[in-house]
Structure 1
Amino acid sequence: MSYDLMVFSAAAAPRDRQFFMKWYEQKMEADTESACYERDAAAPELVAWMKAMTEVFPVGEPLAISDKTENRVASYWMDTDLICISFPWNFAEDAYFFTRKFAEKYKVGFFDVSADEGDIIFPARTLIVE
């Protein structure tokens, strides 16, 4: 099991938690062929975020890494409107910190997928609550 976070284009995502969760579920259920793997197809702010993030957490397969390793790797899944990231649990605190930090810097939204009632934060630092 991995620690999962997501960043998203604020213009594409609903701001109401209930609608946001439906949007997220639809994106996750979408055919994998609809995912874009070329950065040019994603929103420019997501491309900028990913460039910064992969310098801290390079592309890798976190589930193949031992919890005792010092290797910071993450698995990225990109759509035109979002990027889902899976990290090893032993880096959860750093993953949260850097994902949020770069989300603020590049003006993308942030969603803590792994948390129950996880934070949904839009670039204006508006926390979405029920």
Structure 2
Amino acid sequence: MSFDLFVFERRSCINTSLDIFSYQEKFTEYTEDKDYNSLNGCSDIISSWAKKMFEKFPPMNGEYAPPDEIAYASEESENHLTDYSLGKHGVYCAFSYSVAEKALEYIKSIADEYKVGFYDIQSNDAIFGKGIEILKYRTESHGDTICDLDNIERVIDTLDSIERGTTNRENAFITIWFETDGVESTFVQATPSYKSKGFFKNILYKNKSNDISGYFFEIEKDGALYQTLIKDKNELKEMVRAWCIDRKEPNISKYKKLLDL
């Protein structure tokens, strides 16, 4: 097992955590026309960053790898050997767990200077890079979590599950927002609109799916919270997708204003 970090160049196309996840997925297909043990074909930024890293965490392979008599001179020197996959605009790094904390702190300390960010694959607080918008969500049973769109859609798919909620007082919900440098932006959220049940209907529907009339969709805008009812779950997912991916806000002219925040 290794301690893995994905380091990426701060380019204009990397603005959100979704951009990072997408680039990491593409990067790990390893389809670039280059030797991933070599700095040849890397951008100037990645080359400069890598050479700085090699000073403290030398590579296992490639032209900058130390000779065996140095690399394996002691347990400490061996533990600092690192497996780098060097792409044009990114690097996948596999450190020994014994130096994980040192590696993480060192990369943080030089990230801004060398114009890179990184994704800590092992962590819930996973992405480091000033100005990056990080998509997060929370639910009635799950705290603040970095996520991608697939995570969000899976949560929406189970909004009407009886395991998550059954009434407007004990309800399932999802709240979604982007966070930049620890500051939360505006948010959207959704919860089922549960139909009330009488005593006999409760018995009849016991252990079955909830009876709902749709999904309340709410959005924060200009210091207030607005709400509408969406009948179809797929429509709800499309609205959330547009808000997350295209950053498209819905037309709230016919929404109900719930309160000032």
Q: What amino acid is aligned across from residue 5 of structure 1 in structure 2?
A: L
The alignment status of 1:97 with 2:105, answered yes or no, reads yes
The alignment status of 1:56 with 2:62, answered yes or no, reads no
Query: Once the 2 structures are TM-superposed, how far is the Cα of residue 46 of structure 1 from its aligned partner?
Result: 1.0
The aligned runs of 1:76-95 (5 Å cut-off) are 76-95=84-103
What TM-score do the two structures reach when normalised by structure 2? 0.42
Identity of aligned residues (%): 22
Alignment check: 8 A CA contact 2:60 2:81 kept = yes
Higher relative contact order, structure no. (Cα contacts within 8 Å, ≥ 6 residues apart): 1
Q: Which runs of 5+ in 1 are unaligned?
A: 62-68
Distance in 1, Cα, partners of 2:124 & 2:33: 29
Q: What amino acid is aligned across from residue 102 of structure 2 in structure 1?
A: D
Query: CA offsets, 1:11-39, max 9 Å, x none?
Result: 16532222321221111123365554432
1:126 paired residue among 127, 131, 136 = 131
Query: Once the 2 structures are TM-superposed, how far is the Cα of residue 6 of structure 1 from its aligned partner?
Result: 2.1
- 1:7 — aligned with what? 7
More strand per residue: 1 or 2? 2
Query: CA offsets, 1:23-76, max 9 Å, x none?
Result: 211111233655544324111111111111111011128xxxxxxx32311111
Query: Once the 2 structures are TM-superposed, how far is the Cα of residue 77 of structure 1 from its aligned partner?
Result: 0.5
Alignment check: 8 A CA contact 2:95 2:103 kept = yes
- Cα gap change, 1:11/1:119 in structure 2, threshold over 3 Å: closer, same or farther? same
Alignment check: 8 A CA contact 1:76 1:85 kept = yes
Q: Secondary structure at the match of 1:92?
A: helix
What TM-score do the two structures reach when normalised by structure 1? 0.78
Worse overlay, 79-88 or 31-40: 31-40
Distance in 1, Cα, partners of 2:76 & 2:48: 26
**Number of corresponding residues:** 120
- Cα gap change, 1:33/1:45 in structure 2, threshold over 3 Å: closer, same or farther? closer
- Cα gap change, 1:27/1:95 in structure 2, threshold over 3 Å: closer, same or farther? same
Distance in 2, Cα, partners of 1:13 & 1:74: 28
Distance in 2, Cα, partners of 1:107 & 1:40: 19
Q: Which runs of 5+ in 2 are unaligned?
A: 62-74, 136-261
Alignment check: 8 A CA contact 2:49 2:114 kept = yes
- 2:81 — aligned with what? 73
- 1:41 — aligned with what? 41
Alignment check: 8 A CA contact 2:82 2:94 kept = yes
- Cα gap change, 1:91/1:81 in structure 2, threshold over 3 Å: closer, same or farther? same
